[in-house]
């Protein structure tokens, strides 16, 4: 059962974002990016209080995703990407991104905090950061 409202176009849009942001980290990395996106839609907290759907989340400015700004968000959604997007829309969570609202790819090690949220771990190239449960209960 879906944890956010969505259309088929939303699924494809999320799939494109996941691919653009983390294809190099494999399917699990893409799923974690998807968790972060879904959490931003669900959260209603932090910098994401006005995010109500996938489209708002993908194109949010400021605070959005590098892929939409730097031009590598052009790839179409493949069926395998769409299948991954459906998993996170249906509530599957993957640690360390299960409650994350932020991720990024640092040059070196992960900082302890990012946008006042604690590092929950790293997967391959990306570090993930989550708010406290009391600050953003909807992502937990």
Q: Per-domain residue ranges for the chain?
A: 8-139
Q: Considering the chain, what percentage of its residues have pLDDT values greater than 90?
A: 86
pLDDT tens column, 12-47: 999 999 999 999 999 999 999 999 999 999 999 999
The overall pTM is greater than 0.85: yes
> What CATH fold (topology level) applies to the domain 8-139?
Arc Repressor Mutant, subunit A (1.10.10)
- Dihedrals φ, ψ of 2, to 5°? -65, 140
Q: Given this model, what pLDDT does residue 2 score?
A: 97
Label residue 71 left, alpha or beta by phi (over 0 means left) and psi (-120 to 50 means alpha). left
Q: In this structure, what token pair is assigned to residue 120? A: 């929950």
Q: Given this model, what pLDDT does residue 133 score?
A: 96
Distance CA 93, CA 39 (A): 10
pLDDT tens column, 126-140: 999 999 999 999 999
């Amino acid at each position: 059962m879906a944890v956010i409202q969505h259309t088929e176009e939303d699924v494809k849009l999320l799939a494109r974002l996941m691919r653009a942001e983390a294809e190099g980290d494999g399917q699990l990395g893409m799923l974690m990016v998807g968790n972060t996106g879904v959490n931003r839609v669900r959260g209603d907290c932090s910098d994401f209080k006005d995010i109500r759907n996938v489209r708002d989340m993908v194109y949010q400015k400021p605070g959005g995703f590098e892929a939409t700004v730097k031009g590598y968000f052009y790839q179409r959604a493949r069926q395998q990407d769409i299948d991954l997007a459906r998993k996170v829309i249906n509530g599957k969570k993957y640690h360390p991104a299960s409650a994350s609202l932020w991720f990024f790819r640092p040059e070196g090690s992960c900082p302890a905090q990012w946008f006042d949220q604690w590092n929950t771990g790293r997967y391959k190239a990306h570090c993930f950061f989550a708010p406290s449960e009391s600050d953003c209960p909807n992502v937990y």
